[in-house]
């Protein structure tokens, strides 16, 4: 029997929980025993009683969860939790498996610390973008939440209506929303802005996303730029050179100046976010305009973004909040739980945890095993020889 442990998230202010009560029966059916730290789901809207009703066993202390669990599942593991994650290291033991967001490419040194404990670590943010893994893609699920919430924040701070209104006092023109980056978060932002009645436009360095932007009601902004190989094999935008970014900013300047709201979502895995909106571009926007920078945690797409703060610069409100998924904890937890449960069931075979590196999903998410860092790109970041990264691959 596999014992799955669900500790309460320890990152300050984190309200999500890794497994919600509705997922417990699926894990029990697979032959698991589920231990949940008391109070783990309370702030997300899932009281302890709802876990007990579904068959989970409540334990009073975090150490009890780690001490008994074969597999520990968290939203923010050490690495993604850069505040209190290190406190979990003494609770881990060799052979134990840890699953959650790790920020392996952004904080590779923490992966070495996880490896030193002997745990097997699987980083959900590295889930490959293939058809088989869609139900396990927690990163995209959280990006959906962030895209939605970014528009809600913008609408709250914009001193204008989003929709067009025809009233006895005259006609109100709709707000103009520009989304930079048409990934999962960007597409959700476009769709949400349209539902609120705004006119939504989007720009992305990847021409291939034009149809996706149009499918959710947005207008795709096209620019005379040579994008070359704009995306990698995983569907993410490739990092561009400074000369390209400079020309891109020049072309974006007019579009930004005409927008009431700019939502930026452009990131490159393991890299600093590209700077797309300069201070001069911010100054060109009308007073009261709003920028929501979803890349703030990775350095920000806007030059004037204040990390994890709301600021007013040159009359423009700029929101640089981190972790917006945490502000919608009930549904964010529900989505994460469905994704991670699907992933766990993929890993379980004949009543054991099967870390088969011949399987693409397992191989691409596995970052530590047997006290070694085994993920090729992470090894490169740590200056370890890549050729040994998959030595146990069939």
The predicted-structure confidence for 71-92, as pLDDT tens digits, reads as follows 999 999 999 999 999 999 999 9
- Residue 230 predicted with pLDDT over 60: no
What span, in angstroms and rounded, lies between the C-alpha atoms of 224 and 207?
A: 11
CB 188, CB 148: distance < 8 Å? yes
pLDDT tens sequence across 166-176 = 999 999 999 99
Give the per-residue pLDDT at 268.
84
Domains of the chain, residue spans = 2-137+329-388, 140-322
Catalytic-residue membership of 48: no
pLDDT (average), residues 59-73:
98
Annotated catalytic residue: which of 140, 248, 289, 337?
A: 140
Which residue among the candidates 134, 215, 234, 254 is catalytic per the annotation?
134
pLDDT digits 0-9 by tens, 347-366: 999 999 999 999 999 999 99
pLDDT digits (tens, 9 = 90+) for 239-261: 566 777 788 888 899 999 999 99
CB 331 within 8 A of CB 145: yes
284 annotated active-site: no
pLDDT reported for residue 207: 85
Distance of CA 40 to the CA centre of its chain: 21
Q: Give the fold, CATH level 3, of 140-322.
A: Rossmann fold (3.40.50)
Please name which of 320, 328, 332 lies closest in space to residue 296, comparing C-alpha atoms. 320
Question: Which of 236, 238, 284, 359 does the annotation list as catalytic?
Answer: 236
* Residue 318 tokens, joined: 């700029």
- The answer, yes or no, to whether residue 392 has pLDDT greater than 50, is no
Residues forming a β-bridge with 100: 123
User: Which has more pLDDT, 145 or 389?
Assistant: 145
Q: Give the three-state DSSP class for 181.
A: coil
Structure tokens that stand for 330 in this block: 């009930």
Q: So what's the pLDDT on residue 240?
A: 64
Report whether pLDDT(368) > 80.
yes
The pair of three-digit structure tokens given for residue 62, joined into one six-digit string: 């975090």
CATH number for region 2-137+329-388: 3.40.50.720
Q: What span, in angstroms and rounded, lies between the C-alpha atoms of 197 and 253?
A: 24
Domains 2-137+329-388 and 140-322 share a fold: yes
**Cβ atoms of 32 and 5 closer than 8 Å:** no
Choice among 52, 64, 129, 231 that is catalytic: 129
Mean pLDDT value of segment 317-338: 97
350 catalytic? Reply is no
Digit-coded pLDDT (tens) for 85-130: 999 999 999 999 999 999 999 999 999 999 999 999 999 999 999 9
Q: Give the Cα separation of 373 and 370 in Å (integer).
A: 8
Distance CA(162)–CA(158), nearest Å, equals 8
Rounded distance, CA 127 to CA 332, Å? 18
> Is the pLDDT assigned to residue 64 strictly greater than 50?
yes
Statement: residue 204 has pLDDT above 50: yes
134 given a catalytic annotation: yes
Judge whether residue 227 has pLDDT over 80: no
Give the model confidence (pLDDT) of 7-50 as tens digits.
999 999 999 999 999 999 999 999 999 999 999 999 999 999 99
pLDDT digits (tens, 9 = 90+) for 260-278: 999 999 988 878 999 999 9
- Which entry of 11, 46, 51, 137 is annotated as an active-site residue? 137
Catalytic site includes residue 51: no
Residue 246's pLDDT is: 82
């Amino acid at each position: 029997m596999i014992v799955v442990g669900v500790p309460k998230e320890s990152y300050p202010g984190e309200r999500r929980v890794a497994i919600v009560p509705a997922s417990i029966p699926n894990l029990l059916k697979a032959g698991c025993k589920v231990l949940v730290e008391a109070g783990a789901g309370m702030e997300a809207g899932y009281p302890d009683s709802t876990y007990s009703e579904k068959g989970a066993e409540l334990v009073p202390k975090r150490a009890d969860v780690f001490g008994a669990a074969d597999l520990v599942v968290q939203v923010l593991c050490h690495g993604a939790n850069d505040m209190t994650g290190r406190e979990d290291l003494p609770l881990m033991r060799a052979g134990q498996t840890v699953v959650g967001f790790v920020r392996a490419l952004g904080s590779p040194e923490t992966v070495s610390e996880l490896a030193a404990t002997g745990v097997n670590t699987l980083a959900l943010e590295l889930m490959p973008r293939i058809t088989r893994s869609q139900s396990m893609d927690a990163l995209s699920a959280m990006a959906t939440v962030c895209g939605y919430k970014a528009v809600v924040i913008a609408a709250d701070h914009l001193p204008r209506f989003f929709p067009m209104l025809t009233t006895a006092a005259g006609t109100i023109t709709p707000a103009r929303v520009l989304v930079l980056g048409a990934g999962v978060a960007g597409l959700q932002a476009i769709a949400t802005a349209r539902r609120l009645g705004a006119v939504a436009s989007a720009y992305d360095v990847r021409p291939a996303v034009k149809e996706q932007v149009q499918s959710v009601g947005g207008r795709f902004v096209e620019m005379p730029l040579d994008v070359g190989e704009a995306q990698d094999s995983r569907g993410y935008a490739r990092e561009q050179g400074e000369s390209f970014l400079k020309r891109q900013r020049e072309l974006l300047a007019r579009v930004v100046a005409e927008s009431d709201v700019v939502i930026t979502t452009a990131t490159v895995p393991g890299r600093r976010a590209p700077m797309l909106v300069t201070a001069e571009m911010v100054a060109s926007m009308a007073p009261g305009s709003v920028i929501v920078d979803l890349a703030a945690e990775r350095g920000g797409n806007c030059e004037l973004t204040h990390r994890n703060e709301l600021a007013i610069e040159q009359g423009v409100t700029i929101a640089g909040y981190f972790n917006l998924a945490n502000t919608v904890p009930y549904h964010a937890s529900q989505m994460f739980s469905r994704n991670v449960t699907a992933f766990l069931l993929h890993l379980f075979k004949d009543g054991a945890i099967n870390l088969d590196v011949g399987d693409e999903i397992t191989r691409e998410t596995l970052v530590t095993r047997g006290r070694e860092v085994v993920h090729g790109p992470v090894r490169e970041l740590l200056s370890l020889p890549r050729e040994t990264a998959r030595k146990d691959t069939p």
